[in-house]
A and B are shown apart, each in its own frame.
Chain A
Amino acid sequence: MPQVQNWQLNRSMDYQYPEARPTRQVGAVFDINKCIACQTCTMACKTTWTSGKGQEYMFWNSVETKPWGSYPLGWDVEILDRQGAQPWDTSTDPPTFRGETLFEKAPPGERVEGWRPEDEDWAHPNRGEDETNAPIDPSLYHLTIPHAIWNFYLARICMHCTYPACVAACPRKAIYKREEDGIVLIDQERCRGYRECVRACPYKRSMYNHVTRISEKCIFCYPAVERGIMPRCMRNCIGKIRMVGYIHRPSEADPENPMDFLVHTKRIALPLFPQFGLEPNIYYVPPINAPERFLEQMFGPGVAEAVRLYNRMREGLEPELRAVFLLCVSTDKILHRFALDGSEAVGYDGNGIEVVRVPLQEPAVVRPFLDPANAVYRHNTS
């Protein structure tokens, strides 16, 4: 079994194929604190890519309320229960994963530990919406951080992993990572619909089309990415929670690259379930309202520091972080570099050309109560 380096685990691990990183790896950061689960991303994706026959149940982008929401049913509970709690060694910097990944835990005859959802598990995609972890209790004060009872919204697409379980599991080598941007695609000519990828992907982002009888998945809107434009789900984000860009390994991190800055320099954006071992390339800013123990289960040992940093930013102590977050979805261009120019955040495209400029503080105007032109007072009701 080849050994590959997984920087999210700070160690090498077993993988089906030798390490072969793409020239560039595209990725994204989602700030959970800003997501309101409006599902605009979900519908932008649905109407673009999965309105055909056999795709009715598919949501390549979905948003689920944690902890009760899940699409498909119980996807994370199912795989976490199979993998079991796995230890991290926090005496190293960064922390080192000492447990077994899903590749290392594969049962005999399998390449990855996994499970295949039943058809019915894909029904009810928004089950659990807005539900809290526990019953309401009027004796608790709910406006402290973290909240006494809580939930948060988890927007999900394919993670375009560095070590995809779908690639490892496919017996026909029909799934591949593009050399130019690391986007993971299923070759629609080669695929025969064995659904090994559906079984293997722990995030359950490979979906079987029962009409074409082959599998398909999120393509990170590669036709847009090839033109320097963000995917549909990203550029339609109402809450502006998403940063799209190219991510490097920690040793090659560029602190002026917004992705590297959030993931490596500041470590405020964390991988989803790093313990699976896939080195996923969608990163999350953990929600500050949820308890640390639940978040560590989901985002690994960096949670406490990320939350601390986010609170510092809220207090106005992290202007560079604020600058990067203000640039999220302020343009549909993929940003390669950012700068803090006085009181403005600036974003640059791949050619170094400025494509967006955002003030850290929005200008505000207060109009006088009396409007002398009409001799009336300005009310906010008509």
Chain B
Amino acid sequence: MATTDRVVIVVPGDHPPQIQGSAHLDRLKPYGEVVLYTDRPKSLADYGIPESLDGETRQVRNVVKPWTAVQATQHPLAASGYQFIMYTPKYRHACHSMASSMDTQMVYFGPFGDFYRRDKRTPYVGEGYVDMNPDDAKSLGIEDGDYIWVDGDPQDRPYRKMGNDTAEDARVMRWKVRARYYPAMPRWTCRAWFHMYGATHGSVEGHETREDGLAKSPRTGYQAAYRYGSHQSITRAWLKPTLMTDSLVRKDSEGQRIGTGFALDVHGATGAPKESFVKITWAEDGGIGGVRLWRPAARGFRPTYESDAMRRYLDGDYGGG
């Protein structure tokens, strides 16, 4: 593909452009246009789709613009307090397509594990969390270990028209999660791992009615890793059209053989619902029972809360060189 004299930036989905070289991460902000690398752009009009920046259209809308024009755009949700690009990758404490469910896994999955659940708000012996840049969190009044609300595009997440919904569904599905200060998280981005069992009507009922507060369904024993909602509350998948299921020449799902016709990995829903653009707001304090600061931060052993001794330790001052 030949480029023209235009500056062409590769930006799939809600992503910001890739920043090269010495550029500063504060330039890493969400822009309004989805720009694809192509020299044969088709516009929405070519497909008879009206121009719009709503959530559905944004996903299929290909626009080619010079960088200076892209730079001047703004994400349509930014005006409503949406600030963060959230991604939900895989981590080391569970298998790829399997949620983390055993107590020994969950107590070691992240910083909030406690076999004795001293804080009865916690859904389990460990829980899911959102990694945030400490400066981002502080700008929103969020302390390390606090609970936060994380909202996705209200047009379709957690489900369509939830904003007007007063039903139980909204309470079950809106994501309440723990925030964790993570010094290596680039600003304006945040992260949650995808291995957590999400809240259900049953787990919420368990969390709110059981004496021990476990987010465990009283009917099925289903154990959630969140009190409310999950990372799935702020992500969604777009199914691709299932074309040519009778005649497409393609490989088998495994191996090297060529065949034709329907194959699950080719025609089924692929592409993990990984990224989202979210709004984050403070929900509860991180100390036990929602009182004051989470203990490790209060004791001076967390990033940006360092005690004098911790600061000396970080600098290597206790060595005898």
Q: Which residue in A97, A132, A139, A295 is a CB contact (below 8 Å) of B183?
A: A132
A70, CB-defined interface residue at 8 Å: yes
Tell me the smallest distance from the CB of A258 to a CB of chain B, in Å: 28
B310, CB-defined interface residue at 8 Å: yes
A359, CB-defined interface residue at 8 Å: no
A138→B110 CA distance, assembly (Å): 25
Chain B hits for A130, CB < 8 A: 182, 184
Residues A297 and B318 in contact, CB atoms below 8 Å apart:
yes
Interface centre among A73, A120, A135 (most CB of B within 10 A): A135
Residues A120 and B24 in contact, CB atoms below 8 Å apart:
no
Residues A382 and B251 in contact, CB atoms below 8 Å apart:
yes
Chain A hits for B24, CB < 8 A: 138-139
Interface hit among B112-120, B164-172, B196-204, B276-284: B112-120
A134→B108 CA distance, assembly (Å): 23
Known contacts A57-B116, A68-B303, A74-B310; A293/B319 CB under 8 A: yes
Residues A120 and B254 in contact, CB atoms below 8 Å apart:
no
Q: Which residue of chain A is the closest to B321 with respect to CB atoms?
A: A296
Residues A85 and B133 in contact, CB atoms below 8 Å apart:
no
Residues A136 and B184 in contact, CB atoms below 8 Å apart:
yes
Q: A interface, by DSSP: helix, strand, loop or mixed?
A: loop
- Against B, the Cβ 8 Å flags (1 = close, 0 = not) of A335-374 are 0000000000000000000000000000000000001001
A74→B300 CA distance, assembly (Å): 9
Q: Which residue of chain B is the closest to A137 with respect to CB atoms?
A: B25
Q: Which residue of chain B is the closest to A123 with respect to CB atoms?
A: B114
B320, CB-defined interface residue at 8 Å: yes
Chain B hits for A139, CB < 8 A: 22, 24
A3, CB-defined interface residue at 8 Å: no
Q: Which residue of chain B is the closest to A57 with respect to CB atoms?
A: B115
Interface centre among B93, B114, B184, B255 (most CB of A within 10 A): B184
Tell me the smallest distance from the CB of A313 to a CB of chain B, in Å: 24
A378→B251 CA distance, assembly (Å): 11
Chain B hits for A134, CB < 8 A: 183
B107, CB-defined interface residue at 8 Å: yes
- Against B, the Cβ 8 Å flags (1 = close, 0 = not) of A211-223 are 0000000000000
Q: Which residue of chain B is the closest to A140 with respect to CB atoms?
A: B22
Residues A86 and B309 in contact, CB atoms below 8 Å apart:
no
Tell me the smallest distance from the CB of A125 to a CB of chain B, in Å: 6
Interface hit among A15-23, A76-84, A226-234: A76-84
Residues B315 and A76 in contact, CB atoms below 8 Å apart:
no
Q: Which residue in A36, A78, A86 is a CB contact (below 8 Å) of B320?
A: A86
Chain B hits for A275, CB < 8 A: 320
Within 8 A of A (CB), among B103-130: 104, 107-116, 118
- Against B, the Cβ 8 Å flags (1 = close, 0 = not) of A122-133 are 011111111111
B44, CB-defined interface residue at 8 Å: no
Known contacts A74-B310, A129-B110; A124/B296 CB under 8 A: yes
A43→B104 CA distance, assembly (Å): 7
Q: Which residue in B116, B251, B310, B318 is a CB contact (below 8 Å) of A84?
A: B318
Known contacts A56-B115, A70-B301, A379-B256; A138/B316 CB under 8 A: no
Residues B320 and A74 in contact, CB atoms below 8 Å apart:
no
- Against B, the Cβ 8 Å flags (1 = close, 0 = not) of A148-192 are 010000000000000000000000000000000000000000000
B212, CB-defined interface residue at 8 Å: no
Chain A hits for B255, CB < 8 A: 382
Chain A hits for B25, CB < 8 A: 136, 138
Interface centre among B184, B252, B318 (most CB of A within 10 A): B318
Q: Which residue in A85, A127, A133 is a CB contact (below 8 Å) of B111?
A: A127
- Against A, the Cβ 8 Å flags (1 = close, 0 = not) of B20-60 are 00111100000000000000000000000000000000000
CB pairs A–B below 8 angstroms (6 shown): A39-B93, A57-B116, A77-B309, A131-B184, A132-B184, A297-B318
Given contacts A132-B183, A139-B24, 19 further A-B contacts (CB under 8 A): A42-B108, A86-B320, A88-B320, A123-B114, A126-B109, A126-B110, A127-B111, A131-B182, A135-B133, A135-B135, A136-B185, A138-B25, A138-B186, A293-B319, A294-B314, A296-B316, A297-B316, A374-B256, A382-B251
Chain B residues close to A by CB (< 8 Å):
19, 22-25, 92-93, 104, 107-116, 118, 133-135, 182-186, 251-258, 265, 295-296, 299-303, 307, 309-310, 312-321
9 nearest interchain CB pairs? A297-B319, A293-B316, A127-B111, A56-B115, A123-B114, A80-B318, A81-B309, A294-B316, A296-B319
Chain A residues close to B by CB (< 8 Å):
36-39, 42-43, 46-47, 56-57, 67-68, 70, 73-74, 76-78, 80-81, 83-88, 97, 99, 120, 123-136, 138-139, 149, 275, 291, 293-298, 301, 371, 374, 376-379, 382
